[in-house]
Chain A
Amino acid sequence: DAMVIQNPRYQVTQFGKPVTLSCSQTLNHNVMYWYQQKSSQAPKLLFHYYDKDFNNEADTPDNFQSRRPNTSFCFLDIRSPGLGDAAMYLCATSLGQGRAFFGQGTRLTVV
């Protein structure tokens, strides 16, 4: 039973063309995270929502935006993808300080 669902699993986008990745959860967790993971590297936190409060990491480029219209859904928008943005994007949720549950990830390719 999938609890954190990311769509699509694979996304190919053109250089400079806006793209949106989606994440939904059935856990009713109040915290949702977006991580970027490049090949053979650790997941890097881009931002997270604590309830409706948006928390951006200091080094997250302005090119990356996020929306959380309700508890269940969170979106990652990349306004103008560059070749360097090709990566696996991981969504995760947690209930306060509890363990994080991760989705399967969306692998983004920029052509």
Chain B
Amino acid sequence: AQSVTQPDIHITVSEGASLELRCNYSYGATPYLFWYVQSPGQGLQLLLKYFSGDTLVQGIKGFEAEFKRSQSSFNLRKPSVHWSDAAEYFCAVGTSTSGTYKYIFGTGTRLKVLA
């Protein structure tokens, strides 16, 4: 069965420090992978996506993620975190079954940024 695992429920970093959020997936075929960010009481905003090609993808707000097929991972990184990055981050895999398409989300990682 398809699944997405985000091992870290909470992460706290200092402003200006680097960040890595982990994501592992389980999917039989080549996955479509996404990272979304959610501020409190808001919908989900797409940070970046991987469909194919270059395994290092760049997103908005200075985020990047690297697809590693051998590790079934799609970790999100940012070299220098800003206080405005405090939010919840969801990794998702897009799955296609019998002509339909849907997204499966991880349980999320809540990021806290210390001034």
Within 8 Å by CB of A48, from B32, B36, B102, lies: B102
Number of A-B contacts (CB under 8 A): 60
Q: Within 8 Å of chain A (Cβ to Cβ): is B103?
A: yes
Contacts of A50 in B (CB 8 A): 99-101
Instruction: Look across to chain A and name the residue whose beta carbon is closest to the beta carbon of B4.
Output: A42
Contact A42 B100 (CB under 8 A): no
Interface band, chain A: 20 to 34
**Does the CB pair B44–A97 fall under 8 Å?**
no
Chain A residue, CB-CB nearest to B106: A42
Q: Within the assembled complex, what's the spacing in Å between the Cα atoms of A65 and B102?
A: 18
| A binding-site residues for B, Cβ under 8 Å | 4, 6, 31, 33, 40-45, 48, 50, 53, 55, 88, 90, 92, 94, 96-97, 99-105, 107
Residues of B within 8 A of A (CB): 32, 34, 36, 41-46, 49, 90, 94, 96, 99-108, 110
